[in-house]
Amino acid sequence: MGNSTIAERLQEIKDQIKNAEIASGRKEGCVRLCAVSKFHPLESVVEAMRANQFLFGENRVQEAFEKFTEIRERFSPEENKAELHIIGSLQSNKVKKAVSIASCIQSVDREELLAEIEKQCAKLEKDIEIYFELHTGEDSKAGYESLDALLKSVELCAKGNFPHIKPRGLMTMAPFVDDEARIRKSFSLLREAKEKINSEFPSLEITELSMGMSGDFKIAIEEGSTMVRIGTAIFGEREYK
């Protein structure tokens, strides 16, 4: 990373996203950037905000809660355009806290979690957006194990079982391998899953494909990503505590 600043790296990534959009014949600006700030301090988030980056992703609810509560206190409501997406696997006992600070939970991976999100949102009288996470080949077990299980959850949403939950997209992580074909396969599986959902459940507005990280976002954009989640290439290496 040399001595570049967060603002410079953000600009660099935005340029690369734009180039990838153009190279794959897609509309300029069709891919949103979610800056993944997990394990990075509040000051890094603030620095990104000063460089006009407002969409952030965090994995751990407690860490996100501390940072983003502090941001609410530091910035006036007009200034604070920060938006938080939870992208890490979510335990049911953390849902209450998660829905109190996030606008979207991208890592919905089981029916039981939908029920808990609905319950907590109902208490807060708050609507929340969600993405369904599909396991498409990554080593960890994150995400719905099968498309059938995911479709069952989508169907419950389409039936109106969870009135506070707005399903908006799908999310996946590609395997951490060098084999580009395997990475691409993972992303194309997610795109095909979305096409199937769009045709089977036209009443739902499932438009987002959250896929692509620091190492593979160009491939993801070629495969139709509408949101890339980038941490390391913006904030630097994480120090796991």
List all residues 6 or more positions away from 118 whose beta carbon is below 8 Å from its beta carbon: 161, 162, 163, 164, 165
If the CB atoms of residues 9 and 229 are measured against ligand PLP, the closer one turns out to be 229
Q: Is 38 in the site for ligand PLP (CB under 6 A)?
A: yes
Cα 226 to Cα 19: distance, rounded to the nearest angstrom: 14
| Binding letters toward ligand PLP, positions 98-137, x by CB under 6 A | ----------------------------------------
Q: Of 8 and 155, which has the nearer Cβ to ligand PLP? A: 8
List Cβ neighbours of 7 (8 Å cut-off, separation of 6 or more): 47, 48, 50, 51
Say whether residue 231 binds ligand PLP (CB under 6 A).
Answer: yes
Q: Is residue 44 a contact residue for ligand PLP (CB under 6 A)? A: no
- Please report how close the Cβ of residue 134 comes to ligand PLP at its closest, in angstroms: 12
Decide if 127 contacts 95 (C-beta within 8 A). no
| Minimum CB distance to ligand PLP, residue 77 (Å) | 28
> Toward ligand PLP, which CB reaches closer, 188 or 214?
214
Q: Measured from the CB of residue 132, what is the shortest distance to ligand PLP in angstroms?
A: 13
CB of 235 vs ligand PLP, minimal distance in Å? 8
Give every CB contact of residue 52 below 8 A, 6+ residues apart in sequence.
Answer: none
Enumerate residues 161-200 that contact ligand PLP by CB under 6 A: 173
Residues 6 or more apart whose Cβ sits within 8 Å of residue 214: 230, 231, 232, 233
Q: Which stretch binds ligand PLP (CB under 6 A): 61-69, 192-200, 218-226, 228-236?
A: 228-236
Exposure class string for 27-57: b at 16+ Cβ within 10 A, else e: eeeebebbbbbbbbeeebbbbbbebebebbb
Task: Check binding of 230 to ligand PLP (CB under 6 A).
Answer: yes
Smaller CB separation from ligand PLP, 36 or 134: 36
- Positive or negative torsion for Cα 147, 35, 183, 139: negative
Burial 201-211 (b: 16+ CB within 10 A, else e): beebebebbbb
Site of interaction with ligand PLP (CB under 6 A): 36, 38, 59, 87-88, 173, 213-215, 229-233
